[in-house]
Chain A
């Protein structure tokens, strides 16, 4: 099957001029839904943007991975954005963002327990009913191994996605950072994920923190994706049966747009490399014309 892998970038107003001047080199834009929740003018502007390029919507505040029920008001706002913009897809994080009524201001990793899996699935079904489609769910980066966890992260991700029948928005830098921070093998981590549920990918960069005895990676979105992230992307493309949409995330310390476009090209190259490896491993089914030619020859 012919793959239509794409590479795009997270829409940030600071990058607006560069993005709009280079739409021929950017396949898709990802917008943060919360930026448009309470602003009719912004939402209308987003509609205009969505006419210029394919758009996907990304949420950061619903806090689906929690025993607390997803906030109905926020869900309604998300539904409004999705219904107005009609994006190709929408996504959220496998994280919790509030405790009781208090917003903690971060995407926090929940305990990886069966209770959380069931509650997350319930929240996802609620979201699906409200918005009209199931969100793709993104793995998050964490510096703290969630206490009271019963599973490791790859198992928890697989179980949660299976329970909700949801797709994974795979953040490769989060996977890489968590692997380094918790002494996992990133390739093994990737291999244990349900690749058939992956259609979208985030790539970004971070920085090393801590002293030499305890060095860890902080996923800050302020740096270029490191080489291992591209290697993981190639590996993913080699194993994933779906077309992939890769979004480059950058949240500050913005380089010139050419620099970001080069990273998109690098992501495309990595995917092409992986697809080539896949084609060798799994010979493609002959096309109709090829099969006809074989039949003709047999006659």
Chain B
């Protein structure tokens, strides 16, 4: 018996099962097609990490925060401006140079996201991440699009044929099937076309673990490199307000949406020191095991 001859509820059940199977097949096929092994990449550039985490807007945000923390940009309310005309001297990073030029006039911090001069500067970050398989390159994108095409062909093709069959038999109650097919299509897009590759997602997760200990540093010891890296890996919301008090004023939308869960999977760093004295003398702080309140 053809499934298209099934009655409405039975066909919906059949379509539900088919949809779940197709989505699972898409998920598995994508995982198998994309490399996951760890690779050597340049972890020293916070802007690269910011680009991996949140795209070009995050690069601009982290770069602006870094320039403010280093005193090259200054904040007045929600406006940002260059601290002095000499600030640009010695700055070699293209995005930082362009930001200093942009804020030569006082402007809203978030206005930079819509300025047309920055996307081309960001291209090198995207290209680097694509070349290392952290963002989808054109082969990965093509493969994903092929997968999505096949999935949608099955999901929407079956739905379409059933609708034609039903309409030819005088049935017009197709609302549930339509909704179901749209929902499956939405999930297929989400499953097959995520922004990051599996390797990129894993790399970002690894960096969150590796850099979780940054949050353990006393605020007085935060260097500019720490601030940039913390913002790059966890988002601006992760920077202690005592270190960078302007985040909420400059980026209220981003601060509202950045989940606190993005900060760190675990705030515990080393659980033990290495070779401290015996004899009960380790009162200094680093020795004796136990990281003091991380619960791990």
Selected contact of B278 from candidates A41, A58, A140, A250, CB within 8 Å: A140
Flag if B276 contacts A106 (CB, 8 Å).
Answer: yes
Q: Which residues of A contact B202 (CB under 8 A)?
A: 44, 48
Q: Provided the pairs A13-B212, A20-B43, A48-B210 are in contact, do residues A60 and B229 lie with their beta carbons within 8 angstroms? A: no
Flag if B281 contacts A218 (CB, 8 Å).
Answer: yes
Q: Which of A48, A95, A109, A143 has the most CB of B within 10 A?
A: A48
* Binary flags per residue of B14-57, CB closer than 8 Å to A gives 1, else 0: 00000000000000000000000011110110000000000000
Tell me the A11-56 residues at the B interface (CB within 8 Å): 12-14, 16-18, 20-23, 30, 32, 34-35, 38-39, 41-42, 44-45, 47-49, 51-52
What is the number of residues of chain A that contact chain B, defined by CB distance less than 8 Å? 63
Chain B: CB-nearest residue to A61:
B272
Q: Is A174 an interface residue (CB 8 A)?
A: yes
Q: Is A93 an interface residue (CB 8 A)?
A: yes
Q: Provided the pairs A12-B270, A17-B229, A48-B203 are in contact, do residues A105 and B278 lie with their beta carbons within 8 angstroms? A: no
Q: Provided the pairs A44-B206, A222-B286 are in contact, do residues A39 and B266 lie with their beta carbons within 8 angstroms? A: yes
Flag if B279 contacts A142 (CB, 8 Å).
Answer: yes
* Binary flags per residue of A191-209, CB closer than 8 Å to B gives 1, else 0: 0000000000010101101
Tell me the A242-279 residues at the B interface (CB within 8 Å): 249-254, 256-257
Q: Is A107 an interface residue (CB 8 A)?
A: yes
Tell me the B238-296 residues at the A interface (CB within 8 Å): 265-266, 269-282, 284-290, 296
Selected contact of A249 from candidates B221, B274, B290, CB within 8 Å: B274
Flag if A20 contacts B44 (CB, 8 Å).
Answer: yes
Q: Is B223 an interface residue (CB 8 A)?
A: yes
Q: Is A219 an interface residue (CB 8 A)?
A: yes
Chain B: CB-nearest residue to A173:
B275
Flag if B203 contacts A251 (CB, 8 Å).
Answer: no
Q: Provided the pairs A13-B216, A254-B221 are in contact, do residues A60 and B209 lie with their beta carbons within 8 angstroms? A: no
Flag if B209 contacts A93 (CB, 8 Å).
Answer: no
Q: Which residues of A contact B289 (CB under 8 A)?
A: 60-61, 105-106
Chain B: CB-nearest residue to A219:
B277
Q: How far is the CA of A202 from the CA of B275 in the complex (A)?
A: 9
Q: Which residues of A contact B209 (CB under 8 A)?
A: 41-42, 44-45
Selected contact of B275 from candidates A107, A144, A256, CB within 8 Å: A107
Q: How far is the CA of A48 from the CA of B39 in the complex (A)?
A: 7
Q: Is A108 an interface residue (CB 8 A)?
A: yes
Q: Which residues of B contact A152 (CB under 8 A)?
A: none
* Binary flags per residue of B84-127, CB closer than 8 Å to A gives 1, else 0: 00000000000000000000000000000000000000000000
Q: Is A71 an interface residue (CB 8 A)?
A: no
Flag if B278 contacts A106 (CB, 8 Å).
Answer: yes
Flag if A13 contacts B269 (CB, 8 Å).
Answer: yes
Q: Which residues of A contact B203 (CB under 8 A)?
A: 48
Flag if A218 contacts B284 (CB, 8 Å).
Answer: yes
Q: How far is the CA of A41 from the CA of B226 in the complex (A)?
A: 22
Flag if A251 contacts B278 (CB, 8 Å).
Answer: no
Main secondary structure of the interface of B (DSSP, over half): loop
Q: How far is the CA of A34 from the CA of B214 in the complex (A)?
A: 19
Q: Which residues of A contact B207 (CB under 8 A)?
A: 45, 48
Q: How far is the CA of A249 from the CA of B275 in the complex (A)?
A: 9
Q: How far is the CA of A47 from the CA of B37 in the complex (A)?
A: 10
**Nearest Cβ distance between residue A257 and chain B, in whole angstroms?**
8
Q: Is A177 an interface residue (CB 8 A)?
A: yes
Q: Is A238 an interface residue (CB 8 A)?
A: no
**Nearest Cβ distance between residue A285 and chain B, in whole angstroms?**
36
Q: Is A112 an interface residue (CB 8 A)?
A: no
Flag if A13 contacts B270 (CB, 8 Å).
Answer: yes
Q: Is A171 an interface residue (CB 8 A)?
A: yes
**Nearest Cβ distance between residue B210 and chain A, in whole angstroms?**
5
Flag if A220 contacts B279 (CB, 8 Å).
Answer: no
Flag if B285 contacts A171 (CB, 8 Å).
Answer: no
Q: Is B193 an interface residue (CB 8 A)?
A: no
Chain A: CB-nearest residue to B202:
A44
Q: Which residues of B contact A32 (CB under 8 A)?
A: 270-274
Q: How far is the CA of A63 from the CA of B275 in the complex (A)?
A: 12
Q: How far is the CA of A107 from the CA of B272 in the complex (A)?
A: 11
**Nearest Cβ distance between residue A179 and chain B, in whole angstroms?**
14
Chain B: CB-nearest residue to A249:
B274
Q: Is B225 an interface residue (CB 8 A)?
A: yes
Flag if A60 contacts B281 (CB, 8 Å).
Answer: no
Q: Which residues of A contact B223 (CB under 8 A)?
A: 17-18, 256-257
Q: How far is the CA of A32 from the CA of B226 in the complex (A)?
A: 22
Q: Which of B209, B274, B281 has the most CB of A within 10 A?
A: B274
- Contact surface of B with A, Cβ cutoff 8 Å: 38-41, 43-44, 202-203, 205-207, 209-214, 216-217, 221, 223, 225-226, 229-230, 265-266, 269-282, 284-290, 296
Q: Which 6 A-B pairs have the closest CB atoms?
A: A13-B213, A251-B286, A143-B279, A13-B269, A252-B286, A45-B209
- Contact surface of A with B, Cβ cutoff 8 Å: 10, 12-14, 16-18, 20-23, 30, 32, 34-35, 38-39, 41-42, 44-45, 47-49, 51-52, 58, 60-61, 93, 95, 105-109, 138, 140-144, 171, 174, 177, 202, 204, 206-207, 209, 218-222, 249-254, 256-257
List 9 other contacts, CB 8 Å, given A39-B266, A142-B277.
A14-B213, A32-B272, A32-B273, A42-B209, A45-B205, A142-B279, A206-B277, A251-B285, A257-B225
